[in-house]
Amino acid sequence: MGAVDRAVHPRTLDAFYCVLSLRGIAIAITLIFGCGLAATGAIAQDGKALFKVCKACHEIGEGAHNKVGPHLDGIVGRTAGSVQGFRYSKAMVEAGSDGIVWNEKNLMKFLEKPSHFIPGSRMSYRGMADEKKRAELIAWLGKASSAKPAENPAKPTYIPPSDAARSFTDVVLAQKGDPEYGEYLAGECVTCHQQSGHAEGIPSIVGLPEDYFVHALFEYKTNVRQNEVMKLRVINLNNEEIAALAAYFGKLEPN
């Protein structure tokens, strides 16, 4: 019996190479697409993590309200200083009147150094130097801010996280603080916090919601917020004095 001819027909080879090519393309697409999903997921996670710095002052997502800063729902594409019911600085209102819109380009500049992009802004955040991080945060904001805010976003809804803080805040605010007495007591506060509402490395306390103001002082008193200067200033304040200070700074309008 003669040797079996094992030569492969050219058409069979062509089919074989075609299958390999298609498989290679499929693998390449899977890798590219998979990497894209991974990158998108990473950006989402990184952006959400970066937003933790912002959460102290801003709410975002369905039902968001104004806090120390305005809610951020719909922030991408929103005119500066345009959230109804929020008391902006004069500088921010003028920026909106001049046509500043929070598109990606302007958000990149603002987040890099807020006080440089809009001088006179109340935003006390020093800025984010890393361009990549700013881009990740803005990308996340664009998705997270697509939900509708609360029907009444200006309604104060700050709820202290603990029963003790909530009880303290309720007791203090029940006293109906005297803003004139608060102005008298505010001398030590304004050695650091500017009455104009400007924030140059030290947070503005002008126009703060009274419940937020009281809760913040409670946290300094109880070492939840650790700042030796603030602790020395508030440790001996009684409830009447805290209520008065909250009433005074709460009624001030930023310049």
Query: pLDDT per residue over 131-166, tens digit each?
Result: 999 999 999 988 887 766 656 666 554 444 566 667
Helix (DSSP H) and strand (DSSP E) numbers for the chain:
10, 0
* pLDDT reported for residue 122: 75
pLDDT at 56: 72
- The torsion angles phi and psi of 151, rounded to 5 degrees, stand at -60, -35
| Separation CA 129–CA 109 (nearest Å) | 10
Taking the C-alpha atoms of residue 79 and residue 90, their distance in angstroms, rounded to an integer, is: 14
Burial of 109 by CB count in 10 Å (0-12 exposed, 13-18 middle, 19+ buried)? middle
43-77 tens-digit pLDDT: 455 888 898 888 877 888 777 778 778 889 889 89
Residues in the chain: 255
Most confident by average pLDDT, 9-23, 113-127, 132-146: 132-146
User: Looking at residue 107, what DSSP letter applies?
Assistant: H
Give, as one character, the DSSP assignment of residue 236: T
In the chain, the domains with their CATH numbers are 10-155 (1.10.760.10), 163-251 (1.10.760.10)
CB-CB contact of 234 with 221 (8 Å): yes
Helix (H, G, I), strand (E, B) or coil at 23: helix
Between 19 and 75, residue with greater pLDDT:
75
Q: Where are the beta strands (DSSP E) in 152-192?
A: none
What pLDDT does 155 receive? Answer: 54
Sequence-distant (≥ 6) Cβ neighbours of residue 216 within 8 angstroms: 208, 225
